[in-house]
Amino acid sequence: MTPSLTQTADVAIPELKGLQDRLLLVGAVGAVLSLAGGFFNTTQFLQSYLMAYMLWLGVTLGCLALGMVHQLSGGAWGVVIRRPIGAASRVLPLMTVLFLPIALGMNRMYPWTDAALVARDEALQHKQLYLNTPFFLIRAAIYFLAWNALSYFLNAWSLEQDRTGNPRLARRMQMLSAGGLLAYGFTITFASFDWLMSLEPHWFSTIYGVLILGGQGLSALAFLIIVLAWLSRRPPLDRIVAPSHFHDLGNLLLAFVMLWAYFSFSQYLIIWSGNLPVEIAWYLHRLQTGWRPVAVALIVFHFMAPFVVLLSRNVKRQPQMLVRVAIGILIVRLVELFWLIAPEFRQNGIGVSWLDLVVPLTFGAIWGACFIYQLRGRAILPLHDPEFDEALGDIIERGAPPRTAH
């Protein structure tokens, strides 16, 4: 076994510390600018904050879900990204704390928190049993408790597996992952209802939660491809990660692109064919106003362009090309969240604030610094993963030369 594989990522890749420090600096500067913007326009800050929060929460929870999927399905595709998956899921305590601005500012974002409005609106009165502040906060606490518990036990057992190689731990993680995926699907569905769909409390869609779930998987895969490509240019992974690993991840990325498109079109088709005023009003506001170009951009860049590009085997086996697709997907994921959230705050037409750019970048820098901190503390590869020999054993034994083309 190559000695560097047993070292922590901090020792094996010393550049991580410098990257973490730079991200913290960017995050600190961005936080100052964002808070200043929030002082002058609190509602706009909260809208931008919710958009940024849902993007990076999607990466976090998407990684947690992908980790559980790999525990159940096995396969070489998950071995090389298991460490980034674990590091991302360990950012959940930070995301729990960063939910506080949303909880504290909910009165400025969610119409159903206005008692006077509820008193005049019969529809909101019928939904008051569910849409009320105490129950909203209780549900949020349940979501975070479930997510943090899954992350804690999976990461604790993974660390113990690294130390001891106990084969029973793999079975334990599989059993937790089976129930954990059900818990994740249930909680993220209701969280999306609470935090996004209730921005327009008169509108509803039963497929909305599945749409958000699919988007989180897509965000997580795009992020993991970017991370793996960066790590694979540095020893020891430059001699281990092969084009076939990127090909597998590219296929998964293509699958999630199609899954997102299927969910999005299904929601549109069901609501439009139903032709109910309460339901189609949500789409009318986005398709018969200045928001229509955003919808067209989502069709082109969230589905058509990545779908066509990812059909190419060569693209999926070239890390540099695949990373460009992944970066584009992360950008368009932010655009989709903007399309879901911003129209509820801008009833008279489209508008973009500088906070819509600064807050997500700030959030991403702080999240990225925390992710790198978590990544640095463990070995660069899970040597006792049951799939390790199948995924990487032959490559390590052959001492494959580093790839020169990226």
Identify the pLDDT of residue 395.
Answer: 60
Cis peptide before 236 (omega within 30 of 0): yes
Tokens of residue 164, six digits: 């001891």
Q: Average pLDDT in the 9-27 region?
A: 92
- Which of 85-94, 158-167, 297-306, 316-325 is predicted least confidently? 158-167
Q: Average pLDDT in the 182-191 region?
A: 97
Identify the pLDDT of residue 96.
Answer: 98
Identify the pLDDT of residue 403.
Answer: 46
Higher pLDDT, 9 or 212: 212
Q: What is the DSSP string of 328-366?
A: HHHHHHHHHHHHHHGGGT-TTS----THHHHHHHHHHHH
Q: Average pLDDT in the 139-145 region?
A: 98
- Judged against a pLDDT cut of 60, whether residue 401 lies above it is answered with no
The pTM for the full model equals 0.94
Give CA–CA dist 80/85, Å, rounded.
Answer: 10
Closest C-alpha to 68, from 160, 140, 157: 157
- Judged against a pLDDT cut of 90, whether residue 386 lies above it is answered with no
Q: How far is CA 387 from CA 67, 70, 72, 73, 393, in A?
A: 13, 10, 11, 10, 9
Higher pLDDT, 238 or 175: 175
- Judged against a pLDDT cut of 50, whether residue 404 lies above it is answered with no
Q: Average pLDDT in the 79-107 region?
A: 96
Mean pLDDT comparison of 221-225, 280-284, 350-354, highest-scoring range: 221-225
Q: What is the DSSP string of 90-145?
A: TTHHHHHHTTHHHHHTHHHH-GGG-HHHHHH-HHHHHTTTTSSHHHHHHHHHHHHH
- Judged against a pLDDT cut of 90, whether residue 397 lies above it is answered with no
| Cβ-proximal residues to 351 (8 Å cutoff; 6+ apart), any chain | 342
- Judged against a pLDDT cut of 60, whether residue 400 lies above it is answered with no
pLDDT in tens, 224-237: 999 999 999 988 88
- Judged against a pLDDT cut of 60, whether residue 260 lies above it is answered with yes
